[in-house]
Amino acid sequence: MDTAAERIEFETLLLARHLTRPRRGDGDLDASAYLLLSRIDIDGPLSVGELREAFGLDTSTLSRQTTAMLKSGLVHRIPDPAGGLARKFRITADGKRRLDAERAGNVRGLETVLEGWTTDDRDAFANLLERFNLDIERRAGRPWPRPES
């Protein structure tokens, strides 16, 4: 591997492999529910159209995923608080609890991996990873909101 881009491609391939393995969090969520709930948790209630725009997925895929989340009690449908026609998905108390448990388990796993890293190395990696994601989002035209610190 001669170029940085080739090294990054290879390392992101491995990262994706690690991230698509069964999650180690305590919320027992599948990957699609984890992503959708994370977005709803940050943005508040979202319609299928808003989720389609945020994720770039087709309506049938989102319909299948949101139906599974409804059946699992992770979200419920509510009227649009702004008075629009589309109903929105709001995270339930159980969905929030499971999302928080999943995230906490993931963070514990990352803390274990980063155990031997200095604070400066952890901060530098987090900053570069955020910059990398922001550039991807900017190019794709799909910014992802960041939680407030």
Structural domain includes residue 98: yes
Domain count, the chain: 2
**Same-domain status, 92 and 140:** no
Structural domain includes residue 12: no
Between the CA of residue 138 and those of 11, 134, 141, 143, what are the distances in Å?
21, 6, 5, 6
Q: How confident is the model at residue 148 (pLDDT cuts 50, 70, 90)?
A: confident
Mean pLDDT, rounded, for 67-85:
92
Structural domain includes residue 2: no
Mean pLDDT, rounded, for 52-64:
94
What is this structure's pTM? 0.87
Q: How confident is the model at residue 20 (pLDDT cuts 50, 70, 90)?
A: low
The pLDDT of residue 23 is above 60: no
**Same-domain status, 31 and 89:** yes
User: From its phi and psi, is residue 58 left (phi > 0), alpha (psi between -120 and 50) or beta?
Assistant: beta
Are 143 and 137 contacting, i.e. CB atoms less than 8 angstroms apart?
Answer: yes
Which contiguous run of DSSP H or E holds residue 71? helix 59-71
